Each structure stands twice: as structure tokens, then as C-alpha cells.
Structure 1
Amino acid sequence: MRALELDQLRTFVTVAEAGSLSAAAPRLFLSQSSVSEQLRKLEERAGVPLLTRGKQGASPTPAGMRLLEHARRILALSELALQDLRGHALDGELRLAVTDYFRPGEIAGMLRRLREHYPYLRLHVTVMKSGMIDAGALTDAFDIGLSMRLPGARGGQRGARGTVLRREALAWVAAEGEAEGINAPLPLVLLPDTCALHQYVVQMLLRRRLDHVIAHSASGVAGLQLALAAGLGISCLNESAIGPGVARIDARTVSRLKLPALPAAEFYLLPARPGEAPLVAKVRAALAEQFA
């Protein structure tokens, strides 16, 4: 029996994670036809369909889901073996501070895949507010910080760009189907006032002289998502933090409520500290690759 080929497995995993062949092709530096051909050969070798293709993209079949877990481990072990032979394996213990707005529905899976790639790396992850991460940039509170910044927001790391991982549009959101019933004063659902996005939203509304009230203060993004889905008010969230039961407020309602236009949020790894250990720099580069 012929073994599975790494390139075909890598293509399969990338398509499964990207959601379509067209989205996966540039990540693999292949044409869409080459991606399709590799998947065809893999399915021939497996003897079962691995992906369901349709107008909405591509998703793994039950057999594909089983292969997906194996494929991730196989690719991770292959990469680990190469790193070990080259003396590049990451071995050590580090503390990572992550803003709770960063891809909350995906962060656990991303950390799991990071552990698969670097099994000797021991990461202690703490979810924190962006303001706390920025304030702790030069302290010993953590080794690496993944924070969020907003255009024109007060505070933050002025002049320090860091490594930008992604940009996400901000949106006004509310419970699905309930935005039309909202009126002034605007009932806001936000994190506490130490949150940079809380401060940003309130400052925008004050500048516009829009009447508002804090209807609910949640301790974290998960609680904020639940409060929004329960219909307790409206909020401003980045795209990946819009949870189940929550939807963007339509343009007509945004116009009626005179809500201001929103920019994009920027997620970034804080820059290196003076005298930083080589391991920290290597882990920062690995995080940038895995989380981008």
C-alpha cells in the first residue's frame, strides 16, 4: 500500500481550513487547478471522498474530518523532525498575553496546532484587556503580548509598531432580528471602561453627542456575546468576535440611529524588548507564522 504524500496532505489541510480551493491556492502558492489535482489524487489514494464541494466552498466529509486530525499530526511531526535535525526546535517555557478580541472562536484551535508544531514549547496563555497588555509591555508580567489597537485611540504603544498579524473591520452589532427596535438612548453592551474598545466607542458617541447608556457591562468577550444574543443592547465588535445569535446592524438602522462609521482594528504582537532572550524572539516569529 502506497503511503500518503505530505504535499497532498498539506493541500488538504489548507483547503479544509481556508474553506475553499480558491482561498487555499494563494496560501499554497499553487494554481487552483493544481490544488484540485492534488485533492483528486489524495481522494483516489484514500478510496473515499474527503471534501464536499459546493457554492459555499469546500468542507470535509466525515472521512475527511478523520483524516484532517491525522494529517495535522503528520505534518507537525514532519516539521518537528526537520527542525530538530537543523537544531531549530523550540524548547522552553514562555508566558503569552492575548487580547480577548483576537479570534475568540479560533484561538483554542490555533494554540493546539502551535503545540502540535512545537511540542517542547510550553506556553502559559493569559487572556487580558489590550490596555493591560500595552501597559505591561516593558514589565515582567508576560514574555510576549498580542494586543489590539484602534485608529486614534488614546494610550497604547505610541511609535512601536510590532508585528501586525491581521486587520479586521469593526461593526455595530445586536441580537439577530432585534436591531430595528432600538432607539435612543442607545443601550450599550460593553466590557468595563478599562477596555480600549469601550473607551473608543464612548468617545465616538460623545463627539457625536449621541445619547447612550451602559445597559450591560460584561467581564469578557464571551459574556459580551451572550448579553448581545440575549437582546440587552448594541455593541461594536471586530468581525471574528461576532458570536452566534449576533449580527451586524443593517445600514438603514445605522443611519437612523446616526451611528458613526467604523474603521478597522489592528491585531499585533508587541515589539521585542531590550535584551530579549533568543528563545522569545524565535517564539514571536513562530506565533506570527501560526496566527497570521
Structure 2
Amino acid sequence: MNSFDMEQLRSFVTAVDAGSLTAAAPLRCLSQSALSEQLRKLELRANQTLLLRSKNGVTPTAAGEKLLQHARHLLALADLAWRDLQGVTLNGEVRLGITDYCRPADMLTILGRFARDYPHLRLRTMMGKSRDIENAWHQGEIDLAIVMRIPGIHPPASNARETLLLREPMMWVGNTPTSQHEPLPLALLPEGCSLHQLACHTLKQHQRSYLIRHIASGVRGLQTALVAGLGVGCLNQSAIPAELNQWGESLNFPSLPLAEFMLLQGPEDSSETSKTCAAFSEILHSTLSGMT
């Protein structure tokens, strides 16, 4: 029978999204050996190598990229079918806050897909800085939130209502010529931005001199400034425009941690809003979890 095991597909998507088997195993509540075995069986079923393994983690092959698209669609359909059979419907309104670092090129398409799949759900969205979105969530102004956290800049999650959605590599990017013998010209968001803090903190730690050449007001403005060659910055993978050069340790750029995107979940009570938020949280998690 020519078909795929859904749990193996889920493990495959999680491994790609997390970037390594070590990071993916706890997300699947599996040991690393059990996860590896699922992926081995999936590759046998596909009769192709799906993942390239290295000391830096895992990356999908061309065949893996092709299967990844199908796997995401199949898993989303399976989740939708389960909710439909269980009588889980999405009605009413959900107030959703999203950091504008989270898949900025795809977010409108993703939200549009939600609108088509759940026509009775009304979304009220707020996009902006993680700090502003998290404050709005704490104050009850929004129900759900997706925010970015940087290890070493932000403390570890301590709230049971916070769950990890995905991790993404951080990269130094820019179209500005640089020299190891001159201060690194930076293009950043204002000082309150976590990536501003990360860039300056990391360069200071590695005794790399820098100067702040350009301050942008938002992620879109920062992307434009970096593409235009106004400076060097650091961005998470899904926020990097194709026109930008990515630089690493070969040019004396220090390594950066993985960015973590957290889902701040809805109220915990017996209200219809709480039930709707809980169901929509599952949809967000299955759709966005670890997307790269």
C-alpha cells in the first residue's frame, strides 16, 4: 500500500522545523532514538533520503522539501477532520497578536487560509514588536499572542500558558561591504528591540567594534534598509529577504543563538471565548510549529 504514516510525517515536520533531532524529540514526546527510527522508516517508505544530518542539525533534501509541503497539508487536513468529527467548531472572535518577525512574507497568506477554513471565526489581529504584544496580552487586550524570545536576552519561559511554537536560526545579514579592521556598520531597530540588544551584546562579547549607522522604525523598514546597503543587522531566518547576503564566522561574525517563537495562550476558564482560543491555539501550533 502506497501511503505514509501520519506520526512519521509529524515527526519529520517537527525535525525540520526544530532544526535538529535533539530539539525535535521532546516536542514529539519521544526519545531521540525513537524519533530517529521513525524518520528511518519514513525514508524507507519514501525510498529517498529526506534529511541531511550534520553536527549542526538536519536540513531537508530536495525530496524532503517536496514531501514537507505535502506533509504540512496532510497534517492540517487530519487535524481539521478530527475537530470536525469531535464537533469542535470555531465561532466568535479571537484577538491575535503577532510579532512582525514571525514569517512576515507568509503571514497574510496564512491568515487568509484560516479565514477560508474557518469562515465563522472572526480574527482581530495586531502586529508589532514582541514587547508591545506581550504587554497587551498581559493586560487582557488580546487573547492569543506570538512573540519572539532570544536566549540570553530574555529569561526562560516560566508561565504555563506559554508554549514553544518554533525555533529559527539567526543570521548576520546585509549588502554593505565590511572589513574586519573597521567598525561594523549596523542597521537596527530602536534600543528596545531584542535583536538590537542581541547584536550589540554579541559584538561586545566578541570584542568586535561597531557603530550604529541606521535606526529603522519597523521590521519592513529594517529589511529595506539592509537590502539598500545601509548597514549590517541580524534577522531570524524567515524574516530574511532573498536579496540579502548572509554572513557567518568566515568573515569574523560571531555565532548567534536560535530565535524562539512562543505562543501565549488564551484565558483558562469555561467561557466560549476560552474554548475557541484553545481550539485555535491547536491550529496555530500545527500550522506554524517550527516552520522554516
Instruction: Give the alignment's TM-score, normalised by structure 2.
Output: 0.68
CA distance, structure 2, for counterparts of residue 29 and residue 269 of structure 1: 30
Aligned to 2:194: 196
| Residue aligned with 2:115, SS | helix
Counterpart selection for 1:267 from 258, 261, 266:
261
**Which whole-Å deviations, capped at 9, do the CAs of 1:184-222 have from their partners, x for residues lacking one?**
322111112221111222233344454322211222222
CA distance, structure 1, for counterparts of residue 41 and residue 110 of structure 2: 24
Residue 33 of structure 1: CA displacement?
6.7
| Residue aligned with 1:236, SS | strand
The one-letter code matched in structure 1 to 2:231 is G
CA distance, structure 2, for counterparts of residue 123 and residue 145 of structure 1: 12
Report if aligned partners of 2:173, 2:244 keep a CA contact under 8 Å in 1.
yes
Report if aligned partners of 2:168, 2:259 keep a CA contact under 8 Å in 1.
yes
Aligned to 2:275: 278
Report if aligned partners of 2:185, 2:212 keep a CA contact under 8 Å in 1.
yes
> What is the total number of aligned residue pairs between the two structures?
243
CA distance, structure 2, for counterparts of residue 139 and residue 90 of structure 1: 24
Report if aligned partners of 1:92, 1:122 keep a CA contact under 8 Å in 2.
yes
**Which whole-Å deviations, capped at 9, do the CAs of 1:222-261 have from their partners, x for residues lacking one?**
221211111111011111111121121143212xxxx432
| Residue aligned with 1:136, SS | helix
| Residue aligned with 2:171, SS | strand
Distance change in 2, residues 1:115/1:252 (3 Å) = same
CA distance, structure 1, for counterparts of residue 38 and residue 217 of structure 2: 36
CA distance, structure 2, for counterparts of residue 95 and residue 271 of structure 1: 11
Report if aligned partners of 1:166, 1:267 keep a CA contact under 8 Å in 2.
yes
CA distance, structure 2, for counterparts of residue 82 and residue 159 of structure 1: 31
- Percentage of pairs with the same residue: 34
Report if aligned partners of 1:114, 1:290 keep a CA contact under 8 Å in 2.
no
CA-based RMSD: 3.9
CA distance, structure 1, for counterparts of residue 146 and residue 105 of structure 2: 16
Residue 135 of structure 1: CA displacement?
2.6
CA distance, structure 2, for counterparts of residue 92 and residue 30 of structure 1: 42
CA distance, structure 2, for counterparts of residue 141 and residue 213 of structure 1: 38
The one-letter code matched in structure 1 to 2:191 is D
Distance change in 2, residues 1:282/1:262 (3 Å) = same
Name structure 2 gaps, 5 residues minimum: 14-36, 48-60
Aligned to 2:90: 90
CA distance, structure 1, for counterparts of residue 41 and residue 125 of structure 2: 35
Aligned to 1:42: none
Aligned to 1:253: 251
Distance change in 2, residues 1:250/1:157 (3 Å) = closer
Aligned to 1:130: 130
Counterparts of 1:107-256 in structure 2, within 5 Å, are 107-154=107-154, 158-160=157-159, 162-175=162-175, 178-181=176-179, 184-254=182-252
Report if aligned partners of 1:79, 1:117 keep a CA contact under 8 Å in 2.
no
Which has the higher Rg, Structure 1 or Structure 2?
1
Name structure 1 gaps, 5 residues minimum: 1-6, 18-25, 37-54, 61-67
Structure with larger RCO (C-alpha < 8 A, sep 6+): 2
CA distance, structure 1, for counterparts of residue 118 and residue 96 of structure 2: 15
